[in-house]
């Protein structure tokens, strides 16, 4: 059943969340015109590129969805005000990074882009507009948006909803097409029904949950905090396994078989990255402190502390195994994205680990199938020390003359490395450090490498 009221949607922010989410809405609701706007003209041009392999966000299946809807009822534009004026519903899907300066620096989210968006909506909207928070936001941000909208002049009216996005990068399209749940928070029944009717085009009604605004905002932070907590938990146990001869994959399988724990998100690795987990936990920590809940804040803060520790631990381990120094030694880095199947490097564990190794003077040969050299340069820009790095095109080049290969992103291609050929171009004695347990460690060992695997330790 089509919602009677919504004919035109505008989404402010054509990023990792706004782009794929709106593409799927447009694909599933052909009667609704969806316009995604952004101030970044280069990004909009890339979304409009005739060559669908050039979309600014790499997500498996996204090219197909965009290809079907673009030009029909999906549009990408820099005409922000115009699109807002034409819309019955405006999604705010802009970036909300951790503040780097001023009050709450290092923990609180910087809401300047959200505030700017709300002001633009207040000024450009026409008639009645439903404003939907899509970006992950601190609890009670909707109150800020409501207050700004309330200042709008000229007989306009607004309803504010919270509709947090739970998609994960790399699986954005399937996550959007078959979500575990859609969460809509708000206090205006008509607005909630209008948004629920949009999702109702393809999501079963029992998966569309409605709550009050604050529960919806907090549920997003809590979901990310719980997921990140599982990763820090298993990474802590991984270090313990390495010290004791247990194998973290066996432990994860054994505990994951308990239906109360479940098998997902128990993959030990180099620590979590991505734009959400660290930011959202720090935000939760900041808010807990704000409300005087010091013990709760300290509890969640530890999840981030352990994550950072895991990254430094892996860099230290590499240095230790290479006889205590990597100065002037070549190390092939396999993977730079924060996880497989994405070109996103935000908070990627590879950044901290590579910086540590550069500080120790290493020469890094970095390979990632989707991350550009330009992005790596931005991420490693301020690395200290006299190490250096280069972007390489294949595993052979990454291994060439190297004392070690360090696997940091679980790209499927890294499971199929021809180890005898790779070992032949490395300097002996050579190592494989597999921080994702992705490579065929047995084959690397058979080819003469020494092999360390996260949560398992050194292969005998």
Catalytic residues, by residue number, are 276
3-class state of residue 139 by DSSP: coil
Spatial neighbors of 197 by CB under 8 A, at least 6 apart, are 1, 2, 3, 6
- The one of ligand ADP, ligand UDX, none whose footprint includes residue 360, by CB under 5 to 8 A per kind, is none
Strand 404-407 and strand 74-77: the pairing is unpaired
Interface residues for ligand UDX in 319-338 (CB under 6 A)?
338
By DSSP bridging, strand 363-367 and strand 330-334 are parallel
Q: Please, what is the minimum distance in Å from the beta carbon of residue 74 to ligand UDX?
A: 22
Q: How many residues bind ligand UDX (CB under 6 A)?
A: 19
Within 8 A by CB and 6+ apart from 309, the residues are: none
Query: What are the DSSP calls for 291-311, one per residue?
Result: TT-HHHHHHHHHHHHHHHHHH
Total residues contacting ligand ADP by CB under 6 A comes to 21
Choose between 92 and 422: whose C-beta lies nearer to ligand UDX. Answer: 92
Residues 150-179 binding ligand UDX (CB under 6 A) are 165-169
Q: Report d(CA 178, CA 454) in Å as an integer.
A: 32
Q: Which of 279, 339, 352, 355 binds ligand UDX (CB under 6 A)?
A: 339
Cα–Cα distance between 351 and 345 in angstroms, integer? 8
User: For residues 108 and 392, which CB has a smaller minimum distance to ligand ADP in the complex?
Assistant: 108
User: Which two structure tokens, joined as six digits, stand for 126?
Assistant: 């026409």
Which of ligand UDX, ligand ADP, none is residue 252 near (CB under 5 to 8 Å by kind)?
none
Q: Give the 3-state secondary structure of residue 182.
A: strand
- Sheet strands side by side (includes 450-453): 388-391, 363-367, 330-334, 404-407, 431-434, 450-453, 457-458
Q: Single out the segment in contact with ligand ADP by CB under 6 A; choices: 35-43, 144-152, 287-295, 303-311.
A: 35-43
List C-alpha distances in Å: 240 to 248, 265, 268, 432, 451. 9, 18, 12, 20, 18
Distance (Å, rounded) from C-alpha 223 to C-alpha 277?
9
Q: Rounded to an integer, what distance in angstroms lies between the CA atom of residue 460 and that of residue 455?
A: 14
Residue nearest to ligand ADP (CB): 15
Locate 198 and state its tokens. 């949009």
Residue 43 vs 436, nearer CB to ligand ADP: 43
Cβ distance to ligand UDX smaller for residue 267 or 365: 267
d(CA 348, CA 410): 12
- Kindly state whether residue 194 participates in binding ligand UDX, applying the rule CB under 6 A: no
CB of 97 to ligand ADP, least distance (A): 8
* Residue 56 contact partner, candidates ligand ADP, ligand UDX, none, CB within 5 to 8 A by sort of partner: none
Q: Does 135 bind ligand ADP (CB under 6 A)?
A: yes
Task: Return the residue matching tokens 């919270």.
Answer: 162
Q: φ and ψ at 162, to 5 degrees?
A: -110, 130
Q: How far is the CB of 277 from ligand UDX (least distance, A)?
A: 6
Least gap, CB of 44 to ligand ADP (angstroms): 9
137 binds ligand UDX (CB under 6 A): no
Q: Is 274 in the site for ligand ADP (CB under 6 A)?
A: no
Q: In the structure encoding, which two tokens stand for residue 21, read together?
A: 């989410």
Q: Does the protein bind ligand ADP through residue 109 (CB under 6 A)?
A: no
113 binds ligand ADP (CB under 6 A): yes
Length of the chain: 460
With CB under 5 to 8 Å by kind, the binding choice for 224 among ligand ADP, ligand UDX, none is ligand UDX
- Collapse the DSSP code of 288 into the 3-class scheme (helix H, G, I; strand E, B; otherwise coil) and give the result: helix
**Smallest separation, CB 344 to ligand ADP (Å):** 8
Would you say 169 and 59 are in contact if contact means Cβ atoms under 8 Å apart?
yes
Binding mask 84-103 for ligand ADP (x = CB under 6 A): ---------xxx--------
Residue 132 binding ligand UDX, by CB under 6 A: no
Contacted entry of ligand UDX, ligand ADP, none for residue 39, CB cut-off 5 to 8 Å set by kind: ligand ADP
The residues of the shown chain that bind ligand UDX, judged by CB under 6 A, are: 165-169, 224, 227, 231, 265-267, 269, 272-274, 276-277, 338-339
The residues of the shown chain that bind ligand ADP, judged by CB under 6 A, are: 12-18, 37-40, 43, 80, 93-95, 113, 116-117, 135, 275
């Amino acid at each position: 059943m089509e919602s009677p009221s919504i004919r035109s949607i505008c989404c402010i922010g054509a990023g990792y969340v706004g782009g794929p989410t709106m593409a799927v809405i447009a694909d599933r609701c052909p009667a609704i015109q969806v316009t995604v706007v952004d101030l970044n003209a280069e990004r909009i041009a890339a979304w409009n590129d005739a060559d669908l392999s050039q979309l600014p966000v790499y997500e498996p299946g996204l090219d197909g969805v965009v290809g079907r809807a673009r030009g029909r009822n999906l549009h990408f534009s820099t005409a922000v005000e115009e699109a807002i004026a034409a819309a019955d519903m405006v999604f705010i899907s802009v970036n909300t990074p951790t503040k780097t300066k001023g009050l709450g620096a290092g923990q609180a989210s910087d809401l300047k882009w959200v505030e700017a968006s709300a002001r633009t909506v207040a000024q450009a909207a026409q008639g009645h507009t439903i404003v939907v928070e899509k970006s992950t936001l601190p609890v009670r941000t909707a109150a800020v948006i409501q207050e700004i909208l309330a200042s709008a002049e000229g007989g306009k009216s607004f309803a504010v909803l919270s509709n947090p996005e739970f998609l994960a990068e790399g699986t954005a399209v399937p996550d959007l097409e078959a979500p575990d749940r859609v969460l809509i928070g708000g206090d205006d029944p008509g607005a909630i029904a209008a948004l629920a009717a949009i999702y109702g085009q393809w999501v079963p009604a029992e998966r569309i949950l409605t709550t009050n605004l604050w529960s919806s905002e907090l549920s997003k932070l809590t979901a990310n905090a719980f997921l990140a907590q599982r990763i820090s938990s298993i990474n802590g146990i991984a270090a313990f396994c390495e010290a004791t001869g247990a194998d973290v994959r066996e432990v994860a399988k054994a505990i994951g078989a308990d239906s109360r724990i479940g098998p997902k998100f128990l993959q030990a690795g180099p620590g979590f990255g991505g734009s959400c987990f660290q930011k959202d936990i720090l935000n939760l920590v900041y808010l807990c402190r704000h409300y005087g809940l010091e013990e709760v804040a300290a509890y969640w803060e530890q999840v981030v502390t352990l994550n950072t520790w895991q990254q430094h631990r892996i860099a230290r381990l590499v240095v230790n195994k290479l006889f205590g120094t990597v100065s002037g030694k070549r190390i092939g880095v396999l993977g730079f994205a924060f996880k497989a199947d994405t070109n996103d490097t935000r908070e990627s564990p590879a950044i901290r680990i590579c910086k540590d190794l550069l500080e120790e003077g290493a020469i890094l040969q970095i390979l990632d199938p989707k991350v550009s050299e330009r992005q790596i340069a931005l991420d490693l820009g301020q690395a200290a020390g006299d190490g250096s790095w280069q972007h390489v095109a294949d595993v052979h080049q990454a291994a060439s003359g190297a004392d070690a290969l360090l696997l940091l992103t679980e790209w499927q291609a890294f499971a199929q490395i021809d180890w005898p050929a790779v070992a032949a171009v490395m300097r002996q004695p050579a190592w494989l450090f597999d921080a994702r347990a992705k490579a065929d460690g047995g084959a690397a060992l058979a080819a003469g490498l020494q092999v360390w695997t996260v949560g398992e330790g050194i292969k005998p």
